[in-house]
Structure 1
Amino acid sequence: MKLWQLNQYLNHGKFIVQKMLGSGGFGVTYSVRERDTGKLFVIKTLNYIQQNKEDFQQQQVKFVNEAVRLARCSHPHIVKVYEVIQEDGLWCIVMEYIDGEDLAKYLEKNGALSEEEALLYIDQIGQALEYIHHQGFLHRDIKPSNIILRRGKSEVVLIDFGLAREYTIGQVRSMTNEKTDGYAPIEQYKKRGNFGAYTDVYGLAATLYTLLTKEVPMPAEYRNEDTTFLAPKQLNPQISDRINDAILVGMTLEPQNRPQSVFEFRELLGLANILPSGQAHKKLISAVGMDYTRLRDLLAEKRWKEADEETTRVILAVAKKENEGWLSEKDIANFPCQDIRTIDQLWVTHSHGHFGFSVQRRTYQSLRGNKKFRREVWDAVGDKVGWRKDNKWMYYDDFIFDITAPEAHLPSGIFWFDSWWGRYGWFLLDGVEKRFYYLIIRVLKCNI
């Protein structure tokens, strides 16, 4: 068993141990100072419990995987990982040192937070969760002690990805049933089940419950029809009905009855209203940090074709498919709702409701399109939006790139571009129709 001591040198003398910061179910963290620069860092490694387990080496692999998952993240509200090192056979993660205190300690000092302050922090962590869900994994341990408030700022950072796991929508997966009572949903008490973004929604809602009441919610495994689960408003009458109701929906026991994404939960809280009327220039929200400024400017200038090509570019960039030039069904199914909303709202706003994915969705539904693909509906869509003429599908360069085009005519490049084949006419129409269908289904699921 290895426990580091004050002033101990690590990594061939590069770091000097300052103190132990804390220990959790898997890891132990230390603050260290880089000898050459004097800069503070945090180093995390497996705690003494894990070091003494028979499957210690397997735990080491999981621990390194945590570092890999974190290293993939670059978000202002997620702790930064700089490198992985090995010290006397023990793998360690070198991370950002955050000057501040976690929200659990902050609550102890200050009592229950106001709605305004609590929602500010929940919104920041919610955006961080949307980002990591887009990366394909869950945090699974959202709670006040895993959220650090930067000293002197109204900014929080999500830490401790020890329970994070990859997930695929709709797949039954085996996962460790490690959890924190009060913040873990019922599915986390089982080793095998359907996990999804709604798993972290429960933890986020439970965290908001605590921030507003200073009470830990009743553990999910003890909640049933015969037990009394106190609504947060019963503990703090100052909580508004909207926030009280949103928390209860977010903490619904049955996963299928919770908001299915963090964005939906943020909508219930009134935190996800993007691009208010007359303010489209102020806030262009992205779950992955995509810059939509150029798209906004092109649409504002009514440069429709360039805007359509820019839409294709940013969508492929968000999905990390720039080289391929097309989207698969999985790419579209995992595309962040936040980004679809922003792109759609830009098109709707600047075309005065004439163009946009939501306009295409309404057109599709008006022709009795549903969640089952039908060829006759696809043909009818093509006729109505002007992608088909005289029973023949048009080439992309023959589309109408101005406001005189039929309603829902644009955006279209993301469906037609297939490694640029659509531009020259020898594209596979089957790929075009499938991309359109999958994206409409995504728009429906995102409630756009």
Structure 2
Amino acid sequence: MDASIPPTEKLTPETQPANQSPTQLIELCGSENLFRNRYQLVRGLGRGGFGVTFLAKDMKLPSNPLCVIKKLCPKVSNAIVLQRARQRFEREAKTLSQLGSHAQIPRLLDYFELEGEFFLVQEYVRGRTLAKEVKLRGVFSEAEVKLFLRELLPVLSYIHQQQVIHRDIKPPNIIRCQDDGRLVLIDFGAVKEQFIQVDENTHKGATTHFVGTLGFAPPEQLALRATYASDVFAVGVTCLYLLTGKPPMEFDYDVDTGEVLWQHSVQVSDYFGKVLDKMLKTSLPDRYQSAEEVLRAIELEPYLDSLASCMSNHPLGKLDDEEMLHRSYLSPIVRTAIAIRRWRKRKLAAERRRKNSEMIIY
């Protein structure tokens, strides 16, 4: 299935939510009639707790490119709640628009409100999800998973720099673009969370909802306190899926700590195993706190042998400068410090020689 959304339940007139828009979107699929006098609906792609999604053609643009239309939430009738939802929708749409300037995030093409319901129109990404890729070609090697991290972590870092937490990273939400092979991250949970908050303001006690996917979401996210490190955990679980083809619920868990017991299911190097282990810590302080930290750990691995040869148990303070200069490697700072000490030593010796010669002449 080539689509910029994860595979979900297919739409039929029977499964279509009763609170559909006045235009009866499901009935427009495959017809010549246009939605909003612009979009020709091709088919329903799926539905979930946050609305429905359609594949459509933009008939007002040359070549009628495909796009994805997402109806985000049920119709809001209360005027105060509608205004609050409208403000959140505007804010989140602007955020998605800013994020879409990155080549690995679908562009936001349009957004609008229609009789109390909210719609996003996004770029259609032609490609295959990583979940589908694993099913078709098999599991990834360690080298391929490291390459995946090098491709995904920079875009995750970019998202976090925009102060956005994705909240739903998993293989069905990562697409390998058919055109150039780049990885594209889709289906941001941040927008969904905004509309849960609107709904909770109208239904007292509705505090059990969370945005994310069980098994991929760490404990703090289940407690509705997601952080940037929550996305790091989800990337770690995604790595386990790529390496094994097993969804997270098929792994055993430590009953005391809640840690994923993955070590016996995956054959990786000791170093990469330690990186994965730190990504998957259920304790937030023990986990990598950012995508940059994980990327640095991955990039450091090829240099471990050369760094080890530079290490010594011999305290540097007990070596004189000449001995230190003959070591295999010294940082620029250390070399500069040695140069300054040697310059001062020569200067003091010169001053002593000058004073001694003055005393002899006297």
Normalising by the residue count of structure 2, what TM-score does the alignment of the two structures yield?
0.64
Partners of 1:271 and 1:153 in 2: how far apart?
Answer: 28
1:76 is aligned to 103
Q: What is the correspondence of 1:4-403 to structure 2 with a 5 Å cutoff?
A: 4-5=25-26, 6-7=29-30, 9-36=33-60, 37=62, 38-46=64-72, 50-51=74-75, 57=82, 62-73=88-99, 74-151=101-178, 153-163=180-190, 177-191=210-224, 193=225, 195-218=226-249, 223-225=254-256, 229-231=260-262, 233-237=263-267, 239-270=268-299
* 8 Å CA contact retained: 2:108, 2:123: yes
* 1:230-266 Cα deviation digits (max 9, x unpaired): 22x42233x3332222111101011111111111112
Partners of 1:7 and 1:40 in 2: how far apart?
Answer: 14
Partners of 1:154 and 1:116 in 2: how far apart?
Answer: 17
Question: What displacement does 1:80 show?
Answer: 1.2
Secondary structure of 1:137 counterpart: coil
Secondary structure of 2:299 counterpart: coil
* 1:68-87 Cα deviation digits (max 9, x unpaired): 21111121111111221234
Question: Cα–Cα, structure 1 residues 102 and 121, in superposed 2: closer, same or farther, change >3 Å?
Answer: same
Partners of 1:211 and 1:220 in 2: how far apart?
Answer: 14
* 1:90-118 Cα deviation digits (max 9, x unpaired): 22111111001211222222221222333
Q: RMSD over aligned Cα, in angstroms?
A: 3.7
Question: Cα–Cα, structure 1 residues 185 and 219, in superposed 2: closer, same or farther, change >3 Å?
Answer: farther
Question: What displacement does 1:10 show?
Answer: 4.6
* 8 Å CA contact retained: 1:31, 1:43: yes
Question: What displacement does 1:177 show?
Answer: 2.5
Partners of 2:124 and 2:241 in 1: how far apart?
Answer: 25
Larger relative contact order (Cα-Cα within 8 Å, sequence gap ≥ 6): 2
* 8 Å CA contact retained: 1:66, 1:161: no
* 8 Å CA contact retained: 1:263, 1:272: no
Question: Cα–Cα, structure 1 residues 230 and 83, in superposed 2: closer, same or farther, change >3 Å?
Answer: same
Q: Which amino acid aligns with 2:299?
A: G
Question: Cα–Cα, structure 1 residues 219 and 121, in superposed 2: closer, same or farther, change >3 Å?
Answer: same
Partners of 1:223 and 1:23 in 2: how far apart?
Answer: 34
Question: Cα–Cα, structure 1 residues 21 and 134, in superposed 2: closer, same or farther, change >3 Å?
Answer: same
Partners of 1:179 and 1:22 in 2: how far apart?
Answer: 17
Question: What displacement does 1:88 show?
Answer: 4.7
Question: What displacement does 1:181 show?
Answer: 0.8
Question: What displacement does 1:183 show?
Answer: 0.6
Question: What displacement does 1:273 show?
Answer: 8.7
* 8 Å CA contact retained: 1:32, 1:43: yes
Question: What displacement does 1:206 show?
Answer: 1.1
Partners of 2:254 and 2:85 in 1: how far apart?
Answer: 32
Q: Which amino acid aligns with 1:40?
A: L
Partners of 2:112 and 2:243 in 1: how far apart?
Answer: 40
Partners of 1:103 and 1:152 in 2: how far apart?
Answer: 15
Question: Cα–Cα, structure 1 residues 228 and 262, in superposed 2: closer, same or farther, change >3 Å?
Answer: closer
Q: Which amino acid aligns with 2:295?
A: R
| Count, aligned residues | 269
- In structure 1, stretches of 5+ residues that fail to align are 167-173, 278-351, 367-448
Q: Which moved more, 1:260-269 or 1:86-95?
A: 86-95
Question: Cα–Cα, structure 1 residues 226 and 208, in superposed 2: closer, same or farther, change >3 Å?
Answer: closer
* 8 Å CA contact retained: 1:184, 1:203: yes
The structure whose Rg is larger is 2
Partners of 2:236 and 2:177 in 1: how far apart?
Answer: 22
- In structure 2, stretches of 5+ residues that fail to align are 1-18, 195-206, 307-329, 338-362
* 8 Å CA contact retained: 2:106, 2:185: yes
Partners of 2:242 and 2:140 in 1: how far apart?
Answer: 6
Q: Which amino acid aligns with 2:159?
A: I
Normalising by the residue count of structure 1, what TM-score does the alignment of the two structures yield?
0.52
Question: What displacement does 1:119 show?
Answer: 2.7
Secondary structure of 1:85 counterpart: strand
Percent of aligned pairs with the same amino acid: 29
Q: Which amino acid aligns with 2:137?
A: N
Partners of 2:259 and 2:109 in 1: how far apart?
Answer: 46
* 1:137-178 Cα deviation digits (max 9, x unpaired): 211111111111112543110111133579xxxxxxx99633
Secondary structure of 2:136 counterpart: helix
